[in-house]
Amino acid sequence: MNRHGLTFEKLKLNNMPIRYKLIIHFLLISILPSIGLGLLIGWTVDRRVEQQSNENTMQLIGKVNAALENDVENLQKISYLISFDPGSSLF
């Protein structure tokens, strides 16, 4: 047998002591789901933060539009008052 064949035989799970088998299985059973759960939570949080950011931006745009409309309405009222004031025509 060549050298690679011997190395592969040594790494087989069946040839390992029970202690190492248990450690490997424990790591696989505990770490892999934790990594998957962490990735899933990270993806969900990113999506939720983006959604809330978009909602808050739209709400802010709505408030700015309302404030601008109010200012334009006030300017329009002032211009009407000035145009109908007989004293302004003398100016």
- pTM of the predicted protein model: 0.55
| 15, 21, 23 from 9: Cα distances, Å | 8, 15, 20
Tokens 């007989």 appear where? 86
The 8-class DSSP code of residue 2 comes to -
| pLDDT (tens place) for every residue of the chain, 91 residues total | 455 555 555 556 677 889 988 998 998 898 988 999 999 999 999 999 999 999 999 999 999 999 999 999 999 999 888 888 777 766 5
Neighbours of 21 (CB within 10 A): 13
